[in-house]
Amino acid sequence: MHHTLKLHPDSRCAAVTHIDVAVARDHGQLTLTYFITGKIADLRLPAPAARARTDGLWQRTCFEAFVRKTPSPRYYEFNFAPSTQWAAYRFRGYREGMVSVEDMPSPLIESHQSAETYSLQAALKLDAQPNLPADATWHLNLTAVIEEASGHKSHWALAHPATKPDFHNPDCFVLELPADSP
């Protein structure tokens, strides 16, 4: 299923006209494919690097997923960079109790680019995460921070309930993924 990210009302982005995300959940694996349409040469995309856990990815072009089990306040934040670097964090509640998730395998990250399109696919094995059981419904917020060649950043998400971009806001978790089929 495809979902369209919305540009935050206080953001502007001359390079990107559209961002869609394809979402698939199967046997504890979450696969996200972000599709950007626009002037790709006008984006600042980090160069490919060794796939490694890295903090601070959101400070440049970065794709994110926030995932929680319904109705728990606990949630995860996953960051994926065009460089193939990534990060994973677990939260006890809204911006509370953040810890780095060290006990999960590295996601598989692939990207493709042309003059007018860019895609990044991230596949995560989440079946071993204690707060994301396969038999539970998950709620997601899918987001992107886009940095243009000029250095200007824009914020994209499924929903923007606050006046300032806040991807952690519980009201942003608008995508519901039913439990895996047995």
**Local confidence pLDDT in tens for the 182 residues of the chain:** 899 999 999 999 999 999 999 999 998 899 999 999 999 999 999 988 888 999 999 999 999 999 999 888 999 999 999 999 999 999 999 999 999 999 899 999 999 999 999 999 999 999 888 888 888 899 999 999 999 999 999 999 999 987 899 999 999 999 999 987 66
Give the span between the Cα atoms of 52 and 126, in whole angstroms. 18
Query: What is the residue extent of each domain of the chain?
Result: 2-177
8 A C-beta contact, residue 90 and residue 99: yes
Task: Output the furthest CA–CA distance in the chain (Å, rounded).
Answer: 49
- Whether this model's pTM surpasses 0.85: yes
CATH classification of 2-177, choosing from 2.60.40.1190, 3.10.20.30, 2.40.10.10, 1.10.1740.10?
2.60.40.1190
**Dihedral of the alpha carbons of 38, 86, 93, 65, in degrees to the nearest 10:** 30
Q: Which residues are CB-contacts of 135 (< 8 A; sequence separation ≥ 6)? A: 179, 180
